[in-house]
Amino acid sequence: MAIEKKFAYMYIFLISDLRTTRARLLEMFTDTTCNPEIMKNATDAYFSLLQGFIASLDGTTQENKLRFMQNFKWTDTLQGNTPGAQQDAIFELISMAYNVAIWHTKFASRLAGKENVTEVDAKDVHRSLKFAAGIFKHLKEVHIPRLITPAEKGRDLEPRVIDTYIVQCQAEAQEVTIARAIELKHNATLIAALAFETANFYQKADGTLNTLEPECSSKWRKYLQLKQHFYMSYAYCYHGQTLLSSDKCGESIRSLQEAEKCYSRAETLCKEYRQTKGPGSTAKPSEQLFFTKLGGLIKNTLQKCERENGFIYFHKVPAEAPQLELKASYGLAEPISFEFPVLSEQCTPEVYATFDLTKGAKDEKAKPKREEEVIKPMKEPDLKPQKDTGCIIS
């Protein structure tokens, strides 16, 4: 009898700890002092306990009887404050991890906007974005397929949205690599190749969203398109420098003319992006130093090539822009592998046996339908970059 009472107390402590660690993790999402180490401790504490509602604890291969005990509600990136709900602990696991990935992208953005970004800061930004990509990738490949109810169209867990997040995180991580390569004056060929690969990432992300409803995806797509054209402009600019160093001045001029064209298109897309309504905040990339710097670089490099061609080379400028077939050998960003923490030691078969589902939460689907519920969004701190660092993290 005393043993049964002991496990009953352990059950109470488990539920209490689950609530506490969940509340703690939610607090971390808006805590400006939180860093990746603190976030990892908070996520490990909650996810290790939550797995007790998912993993089989009775030594069989049967579904955990606690998995469908509680109804969970989460809003989505593109759907405003109207939540989606599933009575499934795996839905909670995925949704919370999704927000952890989003936190890592926001942490990277905040870090990139510091007054003085050090080499260590740049590495942390790079790692955070690759780690976020790894979380999204793991959820897509391992856990989202386990949901009983498939994700609705336009929701965060459907393939088009999560694939876009994965690719965008990789692209933004490569932006850090490009900024570093430019700062250290690496070979123009490498910079052109990295910029070309990054532009292709943004093009791929935009293409992934092209079948979503325009009212919820247009703004996001405009952002991806302006980034694509911006980095194509970078690629043509540095490719032009490579051609000039190889005494191909005519082709160099044509490459730089194409860079001007792409840059002009990026400027137009910046204006369209700011005027497009849709979910999310609105950045002003065309007003930032990184954007105006590239415009000046293209102009000056093109003028130099034209001068050299008029005095030395006298090459004919091709009618067609050069076909970029650039492949970066270094600096490509791959998602960092992610795994959930192991099951907490508090989750034992004995404690599991004390759960009585007849006294647990009732299926909320059985409740009378109310008017469409709207969840108030969590208030995020308004953190504006202290200085334009030339980093383009969204």
How far apart are the C-alpha atoms of 300 and 240, rounded to whole Å? Answer: 12
How far apart are the C-alpha atoms of 202 and 111, rounded to whole Å? Answer: 22
8 Å CB contact between 300 and 263 = no
8 Å CB contact between 236 and 258 = yes
Residue length, the chain? Answer: 394
Q: Give me Rg for the CA atoms of the chain.
A: 25
Query: To which H or E segment does residue 259 belong?
Result: helix 249-275
Q: Which amino acid is at 316?
A: K
Tens digits of per-residue pLDDT, 244-301?
999 999 999 999 999 999 999 999 999 999 999 888 777 778 777 788 899 999 999 9
Query: 4-7 long-range contacts, Cβ below 8 Å, gap at least 24?
Result: 4/354, 7/350, 7/351, 7/353, 7/354
DSSP codes of every residue in 77-107: TTSTTPPEEES-HHHHHHHHHHHHHHHHHHH
8 Å CB contact between 231 and 202 = yes
Report phi then psi at 79, rounded to 5: -115, 20
Q: Once rounded to an integer, what is the mean pLDDT over residues 300-315?
A: 92
Q: Of 132, 129, 139, nearest to 177 (Cα)?
A: 129
pLDDT at 373: 54
Report phi then psi at 258, rounded to 5: -70, -35
pLDDT at 12: 75
pLDDT at 11: 63
pLDDT band at 75 (very low <50, low <70, confident <90, very high): very high
pLDDT at 170 over 80: yes
DSSP letter at 347?
A: -
How far apart are the C-alpha atoms of 67 and 193, rounded to whole Å? Answer: 48
How far apart are the C-alpha atoms of 165 and 174, rounded to whole Å? Answer: 14
Q: Which two tokens stand for residue 103?
A: 């936190």
Q: Once rounded to an integer, what is the mean pLDDT over residues 54-66?
A: 80
Tens digits of per-residue pLDDT, 81-133?
889 999 999 999 999 999 999 999 999 999 988 878 899 999 999 999 999 99
pLDDT band at 394 (very low <50, low <70, confident <90, very high): very low
How far apart are the C-alpha atoms of 348 and 63, rounded to whole Å? Answer: 16
8 Å CB contact between 156 and 76 = yes
pLDDT band at 33 (very low <50, low <70, confident <90, very high): very high
Instruction: Identify the three-state secondary structure at position 69.
Output: coil
pLDDT at 317: 94
pLDDT at 370: 46
Lowest mean pLDDT of 53-67, 106-120, 132-146, 162-176, name the range.
53-67
Q: Of 214, 254, 226, nearest to 168 (Cα)?
A: 226
Q: Of 286, 298, 289, nearest to 261 (Cα)?
A: 298
Q: Measured in whole angstroms, how far is the alpha carbon of residue 286 from the centre of its chain?
A: 22
Which of the residue ranges 27-41, 74-88, 321-335, 363-377 has the most confident prediction, judged by mean pLDDT?
27-41
pLDDT at 378: 57
pLDDT at 288: 79
pLDDT at 375: 52
pLDDT at 120: 94
pLDDT band at 382 (very low <50, low <70, confident <90, very high): low
Q: Of 100, 107, 24, nearest to 383 (Cα)?
A: 107
pLDDT at 138 over 60: yes
pLDDT at 297: 96
Q: Once rounded to an integer, what is the mean pLDDT over residues 154-175?
A: 95
Burial of residue 243, with CB atoms counted within 10 A of its CB: 0-12 exposed, 13-18 middle, 19 or more buried = buried
pLDDT at 390 over 70: no
Query: To which H or E segment does residue 73 belong?
Result: strand 72-74
C-alpha torsion 120→121→123→125, nearest 10: 170
DSSP codes of every residue in 272-290: HHHH---SS----GGGSHH
pLDDT band at 148 (very low <50, low <70, confident <90, very high): very high
pLDDT at 320 over 70: yes
pLDDT at 193 over 90: yes
Lowest mean pLDDT of 21-35, 260-274, 363-377, name the range.
363-377
Give the position of tokens 């990509």.
133
pTM of the model: 0.89
Higher pLDDT, 382 or 260: 260
pLDDT at 352 over 90: no
How far apart are the C-alpha atoms of 315 and 306, rounded to whole Å? Answer: 10
> What integer best gives the mean pLDDT of the chain?
87
Tens digits of per-residue pLDDT, 198-213?
999 999 999 999 999 9
Share of the chain above pLDDT 90, in %: 66
Share of the chain above pLDDT 70, in %: 86
Higher pLDDT, 28 or 379: 28
Q: Of 157, 324, 156, 307, nearest to 234 (Cα)?
A: 324
pLDDT band at 366 (very low <50, low <70, confident <90, very high): very low
